[in-house]
Structure 1
Amino acid sequence: MSENLKNLLDTAAPSRRGLIVAALAGTAAAMTGLSPAVAATAGTVTGGFTFQGENRRFGTPRNQLPPSRGTSGALQGFLGQLASTARQRVIDLYVSSTQKNFQVKAYRLGNYAGLGQRLVWSSPVTPAIAQAPATVDPATRTTSCNWKISLKLDTSAWPEGFYYLVLSAPVAWYSRAQGAQAHMIPLVVESASLAGKAVLVFNDLTMQAYNKWGGASLYAGANGTVPSRSLKVSFDRPYADPEVYETYNVPMIRTAESITDSRVSLGYTTEARLAGNPALLTGAAAVLFSGHSEYWTRGMRRGVESARDAGTNVVFFGANNVYWRTRTEPTALGPDRMVVCYRDPALDPLASAHPELATTRWQDAPYREPECSLTGSMYGDFRVTGTFTVTEPSFFGFQGTGVRRGTTFPGIVAGETDASNNPSQPGNLMVFSHSPSSGLYRSKDWSDGSVYTTKSGSAVINMATTNWLAAQYDPAVPARSRQFAAQVTRNIITAAAQGPIAQRYARPAV
């Protein structure tokens, strides 16, 4: 373990150590010499793309990425598009820097024999400028950047998938005295078609809700109080910290792309893309949500429900999903780049005339649609610790794990949880794990992993803990628990990728 990594882990809260390790996955593999780094500056797609073939390529050791990746005034940036799409593969990059120039490197995230990423493209060294200060809308406390385009990225030759764009000043990556000289920006190179694929969804709406760049997020304002929080947040600004991406998305990507079964085909998109294009999932075999997909628009929910009712399997590898009903609005840079969430119908100007669009919790008035009618379970608790406990060993996700009723796995249940306790949940819901837990609100509670099926033959699976994915890369979690969670994740994705799976679940559909 490097001194930098050791210091980072030693100073991190216990709940974050596994997430840091997940983001840094591959360092140990790199030290064992599993494969050398690729020194190429481009990664051209040749022939038909498969993620299995992509992951057989040489990966890039993590130590080639900068150890410091937070935002500072020295170097920061954001993208002008929500994703690289089949219609628009050229992406606008906006950068502000106190340095004279910068460089961009694009790393595709995956498994890559345990290394975790591959360098796909490098830009030339590009002149940088300090851009204009951000503006703040006093009515909604929304921060936006009216910046000039710094560079256009042609991603048409890049393999589809999830990426980090690493912005770096050519000096002092490793100099703590210079402050943060590198900045990471997540990017999805969306599949040209999602039909027939198990689709991984980047939780970008949720990330923007948590993004405090400029001082305010949907949770708190610059002074740290709830009343000063933003009522709308914009994609037209950098991410203050990529932690939410690393916590909830990276572990899913790396486990999914470790699957070698040729029957599995993965697709890639984002929450915001689904919000603006509800029919995007038409014909998808499955849609897979990461550890935390909390902010959903009405269009996004209807699109997922329509896909489910047409035979698309839905998997929630986390908890506290579909919790806040949001809207998206356009900004000067394009559609769906403003995330609206007043939370209080008395503040929302559309709540009276269009209660179905009111930005409240989905379970609340003036238009109640509890999340459990889609997810199977309701949000339970926060700051939870518990022990994953099997109650239904016949669940197909447990195949090959050797579990029995009552088998336990410590270290998996943590963070936020969902529980089966609402009359609006599907009538044929099967709880396959009923895990005792203790959280901020209740000292004795449960985390309920569940599955139900529909008349279309689709299944909806909810793992009911935000730590399900992160635990797979956390050395503080027992190896037995890590291996179990990874195997179950691969089992679920493999089954879901092959179309409606109701035949694997005996209860009648609803």
Structure 2
Amino acid sequence: MLKFLALGAGAAATGLAVPAEATSVPRQALRDRPRPAAPVVPAQRASADALRLPVNVTDRLRQIQGYASATSVNAGDPIDFHVAVARPQPFTVTVHRIDGRGTQQVGASGELSGQPRAVPVPDPVTGLIDCDWPVSWTLHTPAYWTSGMYLAVFETRDGDRALTLFVVREDQRRSDFLMVVPFTTYAAYNMWPMDGHTGRNLYRGYLPGGKSGGIDQRAYRVSFNRPFANGGRPKLFDLDIAAAKWLESNGYDVTYATSIDLHEGRVDPARHRGLVFSGHDEYWSGAMRQVLDKAIRGGTHCAFLAANNVYWNIRMEAAGRVVTCYKDAVDPAPGRFGPTKLWRDLGPGHSHAEGRTLGVQYNGIPDRPAPLVVREAGHWLWAGTGLRDGDTIPKLVGGEADGVFPDVPVGYGAQRTVLSESPYTDAKRGRVVQNTSLSVTPEGTIVFDAGTFHWPLALVHGRYTDARIQRATRNLFNRMLAAK
């Protein structure tokens, strides 16, 4: 059963049950908490940027592949890696932290014994593929390691290479910003093994003959206990890497967590000025939404830097290692937040629609990158960019996009400002309009939604780089730091 929270005058209900303490965070604590310097990872020998290392394995040959025992680990605690090789041979693991320049190597294993491991048979009902490979190596993270996004790079003696991503947290440290890495969405898109017959994700599986099928072949449950396809690179994690590199290169005080930490209650919004949802954050449990609601009610700002966020309701199962989402199929065991389908289709009216919180919500997939068309150029977000109403930023609307739904009012009594109005073409929907949104509650809490996948890519060097978006994003984060 869905539960609802009655709010006082001037605020609109979101329809999510929230603990009583969610509304009682003292705002003075947000203004006055100290800003400790981040611990420094000791200098290491020069090493290649792990993001640029060639990853040459395939899911058909499976030369070397591995996964971590958790999506994140608190600094000072251990994390296990489960690794398989195609034929018995030694391999090594190097550990790298992503920073403003690329990566820095911070640790390594000795030579380890590699053994072949079986690919599990998918569950015949749910399509779940869940490996039970033994631990190959345990990394005992030093307590002084800096919170961040880390890569474990696996390399055989033959020179085959794969990787996996994990996050190091600093649970006892306050920071201005907490970046939440969307591992639940990574799992939803993971098609491992892409071998022509076995792999499944929450979108598709394989047809007889090896062609990729559709929803009739998809899984309903996906596990973190398996490697990521594509040599270990999660789909769209370049958005999160771009955000992390920009935050760090601009000197912001930032720590990191994952969507699993959000679900498990390891994120206390009151310890941060703002929560940063860096990439494509599509799959949300009810517990994750409760933390987001607690953040906004307690005065912690929220920045969604991409698009199509808070879209599917999911259940986290098997101690947080399995993501369950039946979508349009019948959910055989709905939880207390309802069946695992679109949030916007849960509850009466639009009470659970993501636009109630974000100001905008997913409305399509541009068939090609389109220009972002600026609105409200006098708003403080656009200050110093030189932009005027109607100016365009080339190719910024791409991947997926969000827009205003007039029948979905913004909650929290917030005032929404629409900062772009960008026409694009969706192959199924025809002409659609993208909107960037910024909402402010009566208490001054900011909720920003960029409304396009290309926004974080514009923050770093690459094909979508744009100094005006970089300036606007600095304006956003600096306002969050200054806001009372």
TM-score for the superposition, normalised by structure 1:
0.78
* Partner SS state of residue 255, structure 1: helix
Q: 2:360 aligns with which of 377, 395, 408?
A: 377
| CA distance 1:465–1:378, change in 2 (3 Å) | same
Q: Single out whichever of 426-435 and 140-149 deviates more from structure 2.
A: 426-435
Matches within 5 A, 1:26-45: none
Match of 1:283 among 228, 246, 271: 271
Aligned-residue identity in percent: 27
Q: Distance in 1 between matches of 2:51 and 2:387?
A: 40
1:465 matched to which residue of 2? 452
Q: Secondary structure at the match of 1:267?
A: strand
Q: Who is 1:29 aligned against?
A: none
2:84 is matched with 96
Give the residue type in structure 2 aligned to 1:155: T
AA matched with 1:461: F
Match of 1:292 among 276, 280, 284: 280
In the other structure, the counterpart of 2:109 is: 123
Matched, 1:391 2:375: yes
Change (3 A) 1:392 1:255: same
Tell me if the contact between 2:396 and 2:454 (Cα under 8 Å) persists in the aligned partners: yes
Cα distance 1:258–1:397, how it changes in 2: closer, same or farther (>3 A)? Answer: farther
Q: Structure 1 residues 69 and 323, CA, compared in 2 at 3 Å: closer, same or farther?
A: farther
Give the drift of 1:198.
Answer: 0.6
The residue that corresponds to 2:14 in the other structure is none
Which secondary structure does the structure 2 equivalent of 1:249 belong to? helix
Identify if the C-alpha distance between structure 1 residues 433 and 257 changes in structure 2 by more than 3 Å, giving closer, same or farther. Answer: same
Q: CA distance change for structure 1 residues 490 and 194 in 2, over 3 Å: closer, same or farther?
A: farther
The match for 1:6 is none
2:151 maps to what in 1?
A: 164
Q: 1:357 aligns with which of 308, 313, 338?
A: 338
How far residue 339 of structure 1 moved from its aligned partner, in angstroms, is 0.2
Q: Name whichever structure is richer in helix by fraction.
A: 1
Question: Matches of 1:393 and 1:55 in 2, distance apart?
Answer: 44
Q: CA-to-partner distance for each residue in 1:84-115, whole Å, 9 max, x for gaps?
A: 125x7200110011241111111111113xxx
| Alignment-derived partner of residue 411 in structure 1 | 395
1:328 and 1:338 in contact (8 A); partners too:
yes
RMSD across aligned C-alpha pairs, in angstroms?
A: 2.5
Structure 2 counterpart SS, 1:206: helix
Deviates more, 1:357-366 or 1:310-319: 357-366
Tell me, yes or no, if the aligned pair for 2:188 and 2:201 is still in contact at 8 Å.
Answer: yes
* Equivalent in the alignment of 2:310: 322
1:137 equivalent to 2:126? Answer no
Query: Which has the higher mean CA deviation after the structures are superposed, 267-276 or 219-228?
Result: 219-228
Q: Tell me the SS of whatever aligns to 2:157.
A: coil
**Is the contact between residue 313 and residue 499 of structure 1 (CA under 8 Å) also seen in structure 2?**
no
Which residues in structure 2 correspond to 1:9-408 (within 5 Å)?
A: 49-50=37-38, 60-62=47-49, 66-72=53-59, 73-85=62-74, 89-97=77-85, 98-112=87-101, 116-156=102-142, 157-172=144-159, 181-193=160-172, 195-214=174-193, 215-223=199-207, 224-241=213-230, 242-260=233-251, 264-277=252-265, 280-330=268-318, 335-344=319-328, 347-351=330-334, 354=335, 356-365=337-346, 369-384=352-367, 385-408=369-392
Relative to structure 1, the CA distance from residue 102 to residue 226 in structure 2 (aligned partners, 3 Å threshold; closer, same or farther) is same
Report the AA paired with residue 272 of structure 1: I
Contact 2:228 2:234 in 1 (8 A): no
Structure 2 residue identity aligned to 1:203: P
Native 8 Å contact 1:291 1:467 kept in 2? no
- The verdict on how the C-alpha distance between 1:417 and 1:194 changes in structure 2, with shifts beyond 3 A counting, is farther
Q: CA deviation at 1:392?
A: 1.2
SS at match of 2:242: helix
Q: Structure 1 pair 360/327, CA: closer, same or farther in 2 (3 Å)?
A: same
Residue 107 of structure 1 aligns to a residue in which SS?
Answer: strand
SS at match of 2:79: strand
Check conservation: 1:278, 1:300, Cα contact below 8 A.
no
Counterparts of 1:194 and 1:454, CA distance in 2: 27
Contact 2:221 / 2:325 at 8 angstroms: preserved in 1?
yes
Please give the secondary structure, in 2, of the residue aligned with 1:415: coil
Q: Which segment drifts farther, 120-129 or 67-76? A: 67-76
Shift of 1:382: 0.7
Q: Aligned in 2, Cα 1:216/1:493: closer, same or farther, shift over 3 Å?
A: same
Q: Equivalents in 2 of 1:347, 1:246: separation in Å?
A: 30
Q: Within 1, Cα distance between the matches of 2:152 and 2:266? A: 27
Contact 2:128 2:220 in 1 (8 A): yes
- Kept in 2, the 8 Å contact 1:106–1:120? The answer is yes
Give how far 1:49 is off. 4.9
Contact between 1:291 and 1:468, CA under 8 Å: does it hold in 2? no
In the alignment, is the contact (CA less than 8 A) between 1:432 and 1:450 conserved in 2?
Answer: yes
Unaligned runs of 5+ in 2: 1-35, 194-198, 208-212
Letter in 2 for 1:206: T
Q: Do 2:300 and 2:445's aligned partners in 1 also have CA atoms closer than 8 Å?
A: yes
* One-letter identity of the residue aligned with 1:467: H
Task: Rate the CA distance shift 1:55–1:286 in 2: closer, same or farther, 3 A.
Answer: farther
Contact 1:141 1:230 in 2 (8 A): yes
Q: CA deviation at 1:364?
A: 1.0
Name the amino acid aligned to 2:272.
A
Unaligned stretches of 5+ in structure 1? Answer: 1-47, 173-180, 502-510
Deviation at 1:159, TM superposition (A): 2.0
Give the distance between the partners of 2:44 and 2:137, measured in 1 at CA: 28
In structure 1, the residue corresponding to 2:418 is in which secondary structure? Answer: strand
Taking structure 2 as the reference length, the TM-score comes to: 0.82
Deviation string 1:241-295 (CA, Å, 9 cap, x unpaired) is 31425332111111111113xxx31110001110111753333211111221000
| SS of alignment partner, residue 136 of structure 1 | coil
Q: Secondary structure at the match of 1:163?
A: strand
Separation in 2 of the partners of 1:59 and 1:425? 53
Contact 1:195/1:283 (<8 A) preserved: yes
| CA displacement 1:390-449 (0-9 Å, x = unmatched) | 111233332321222222211211111001123223162110111222222333221101
| 2:445 paired with 1:444 | no
Asked if the contact 1:163/1:189 (under 8 Å) is kept, the reply is yes
Letter in 1 for 2:333: L
